[in-house]
Amino acid sequence: MMRTNSDFDQRRAKAVARAIAYTSTFTAERAENSEVWDVEGNRYIDFCGGIGCQNVGHRHPKVVAAIEKQLKQLTHTCFQIVPYESYISLAERINALAPGDFDKKSLFFSSGGEAVENSIKIARYYTRKPAIITFTNGYHGRSYMGMGLSSRMSPFKVGFRPFPTEIYRVPFPDDYHGVSREQAINAIEMLLKTDADPDSIGAVIFEPVQGEGGYNIIDDEFLHWLREFCDRHNIVLIADEIQTGCGRTGKMFACEHFGVAPDLTCIGKSIGGGLPLSGVVGRADIIDSVPPGGLGGTFGGNPLGCAAALAVLDVMAEEELLKRGLEIGARIDARFSAFARNPELPCIGDARSLGTMNAIEVVKNRSSREPDGELASAIIARALAEGLILIGAGPDRNVIRVLVPLTAPFALIDEGLDILESAILGCL
């Protein structure tokens, strides 16, 4: 019997919670590198990669082989009960790669949200200080701490109160949206006077490029100021590199662009090559302040995820994907910047990128910069109908972001960009 997208849609509506929203109009059957095919055999170019989880492409043969090999050896013993090699090897590799010339240690989990939770637990344990500074337009997951740290009310936070306390949100410096570096620094200095003195602040958590928040790139000087601020007050600086890490920005970790080493870094998404794997890497003295048994979880650092991650790191190095990512990013940026200058596309207000984190901002008009989330959604829907998977971002959902695999052929990138351009034109 013919399997149709509409059959699956009906089954999904009956069986799956409606809170698990989805944007696609089809059900996936298989995927390879940067393409996905639906149950009816239609093919789509994937500029989303399962929200940034496929930097080495869907089902990279080396990742598949590593998972298969691990599958035949063992799938789960729980590292805290019986350890295994892939976890230890992965910790060694990640410690060597993460920024900072200090001794490092790592620990692994399954979801990005868990990595964030654990980074906060570690920072609080080490400093014995409860308060956390976080930023406007930040996104750190859907757990209660994740919601508390994240900025967006609808749909992430509405109706789920109360959130954890001792979280203080300050403006993320962002010139395009009218927040200067000075304003961001002043807001933190004001916070120290009004709500949280340095003796109560245990951590500052930030994304080097805000993912869900709309690809806002952190200001270089601000980040250096933040590093110095944390050093001055014994505050743990946590970089959430769940979306920016694993080569997405042209460096293994985005913080390398700025020459700043955070104390702790959260990793997730692409490191698992499609399997659920996340972790925290950072200063050994901070991480080891927590005594044995203080951190962990049944599935954290599952053998299959660790084996996949080791293969991902091999593929990144062997195929020189940092370099390739920069090439892809530059190619996309050239087109996006042309969109933002093109008088026939007045709805594209800005194009910005760091490596292969490329975005365009959809606006009502270029000078007012008023966001147009409705138009951005229409463009994304039209692109999907023409065979390109894209996702939005930003508090007004008016940013269209790219998370294409770094292994995507240039011809496919160009084909995707053509579809996007025709979708924009078609929506005007």
Query: Interface residues for ligand PLP in 120-179 (CB under 6 A)?
Result: 139-141
Query: Of the ranges 78-86, 205-213, 292-300, 302-310, which one interacts with ligand PLP (CB under 6 A)?
Result: 205-213
Token pair belonging to 151: 């900025």
Residue found by looking up tokens 């995820």 in the block? 305
The residue among 280 and 419 lying less far from ligand PLP, judged by its C-beta, is 280
- Compare residues 100 and 112 and give the one whose CB is closer to ligand PLP: 112
- 8 Å CB contact between 355 and 250: yes
The CB-nearest residue to ligand PLP is 112
Q: Which of residues 10-49 bind ligand PLP (CB under 6 A)?
A: none
- The DSSP secondary structure of 274-295, one letter per residue, reads TS--EEEEEEHHHHTTSPTTSS
Give the nearest distance from C-beta 364 to ligand PLP in angstroms: 27
CB 329 within 8 A of CB 250: yes
CB of 253 to ligand PLP, least distance (A): 13
Angle formed by the axes of helices 61-73 and 303-318, to 10°? 150
Exactly one of 35, 46, 117, 212 binds ligand PLP (CB under 6 A); that residue is 212
Structure tokens belonging to residue 305: 């995820």
The yes or no reply on residue 257 touching ligand PLP (CB under 6 A) is no
Residue number with CB closer to ligand PLP (152 or 324)? 152
Question: Which helix H or strand E contains 127, and what residues bound it?
Answer: helix 112-127
**How far from 265 is each of 37, 120, 357, 380, 384, CA to CA, in Å?**
35, 11, 19, 32, 34
Q: How far apart are CA 214 and CA 276, in angstroms?
A: 24
The secondary structure of 182-212 as a DSSP string is: HHHHHHHHHHHHHT--GGGEEEEEE-SEETT
> Between 38 and 207, whose beta carbon lies closer to ligand PLP?
207
Closest distance to ligand PLP from the beta carbon of 218 (Å) = 12
Task: Choose the stretch contacting ligand PLP; rule: CB under 6 A; options: 41-49, 206-214, 372-380, 405-413.
Answer: 206-214
Taking the C-alpha atoms of residue 391 and residue 409, their distance in angstroms, rounded to an integer, is: 20
Nearer to ligand PLP, 207 or 421 (CB): 207
Please report how close the Cβ of residue 225 comes to ligand PLP at its closest, in angstroms. 21
Cα gap 73→75, rounded to integer Å: 7
Comparing CB distances to ligand PLP, the nearer of 112 and 247 is: 112
User: In terms of Cα–Cα distance, which of 256, 245, 249 is closest to 112?
Assistant: 245
- The single-letter DSSP state of residue 228 is H
Q: What is the DSSP letter of 48?
A: S
Residues of this chain, 80-119, that bind ligand PLP according to CB under 6 A: 111-113, 116
* Residue 211 engages ligand PLP in binding (rule: CB under 6 A): yes
By CB atoms closer than 10 A (0-12, 13-18, 19+), residue 56 is buried
Is 270 a binding residue for ligand PLP by CB under 6 A? The answer is no
Residue 206 or 339 having the CB closest to ligand PLP: 206
Nearer to ligand PLP by C-beta: 47 or 339?
A: 47
Stretch that binds ligand PLP, among 56-64, 95-103, 237-245, 420-428 (CB under 6 A): 237-245
**C-beta of 173: minimal distance to ligand PLP in Å?**
17
Q: Does 247 bind ligand PLP (CB under 6 A)?
A: no
Interaction of residue 214 with ligand PLP, rule CB under 6 A: no
Neighbours of 117 (CB within 10 A): 23
For 284, the token pair is 């050994």
45: three-class secondary structure by DSSP: strand
Nearer to ligand PLP, 217 or 424 (CB): 217
Q: Which residues bind ligand PLP (CB under 6 A)?
A: 51, 111-113, 116, 139-141, 207, 211-212, 240, 242-243, 268
